[in-house]
Amino acid sequence: KAGVTQTPRYLIKTRGQQVTLSCSPISGHRSVSWYQQTPGQGLQFLFEYFSETQRNKGNFPGRFSGRQFSNSRSEMNVSTLELGDSALYLCASALGGGNTDTQYFGPGTRLTVL
Amino acid sequence: LAKTTQPISMDSYEGQEVNITCSHNNIATNDYITWYQQFPSQGPRFIIQGYKTKVTNEVASLFIPADRKSSTLSLPRVSLSDTAVYYCLVERRGSGNTGKLIFGQGTTLQVKP
């Protein structure tokens, strides 16, 4: 079974631009969570989607948003990019029955904001 | 959720057994202990999960004492490829806090030849 895939793997943007990242979960998984990883803050939870609905949200500003499609694929959008948004963005998929499912992570998208 | 504390770094040599201990003094009845491994510029990889006593899989063993205030991840006969960051997490079941894993600083394991 194919793992979680994320595209693109690397991205360079400039301040003020916006960016969209994509995540394809493992087949059959309906939950997709997004995380930001930086050297200073570590791994931080952004939000989780299940059945096209945001089910949980972390403490990030409204510039960070996401959505999920009917095939469970998810996108994350960051608007008005700031230098501090440079990070590894990870998505994880799970079966989605509840908060007990093992999360399987993708390889991440490395975003650099100049 | 229970806060976890684990050593920032550990060194070992190839072929040795490595034990990484995590403390979670405020663990609750509904909490499970999960360990993830992460290599640089990759996503974390699930290693093992347990509730109490001992759990073993093809990769590692997890020992949890009766009071569950700590847990120990045991990696048998490590190799250079086991050099990574290891995260101990406490996951609460039934709280409705879906999809959210709380990662601490992790333990950077360096395996030397």
Per residue in B70-92, pLDDT (tens digit) is 999 999 999 999 999 999 999 88
Chain centroid offset of residue A68 CA: 11
The alpha-carbon gap from A18 to the nearest alpha carbon of chain B, in Å, equals 22
Question: Which chain B residues are Cβ-neighbours of A4 within 8 angstroms?
Answer: 43
Q: What is the pLDDT along chain A (114 residues), one digit of tens a residue?
A: 789 999 999 999 999 999 999 999 999 999 999 999 999 899 999 999 999 999 999 999 999 999 999 999 999 999 999 999 999 999 999 987 665 688 999 999 999 999
Cα distances (Å, whole numbers) of residue A79 to A16, A17, A92: 7, 6, 22
Residues 6+ apart with CB under 8 A from A78: A18, A19, A21, A63, A64, A65, A85, A111
DSSP letter (8 states) at residue B5: B
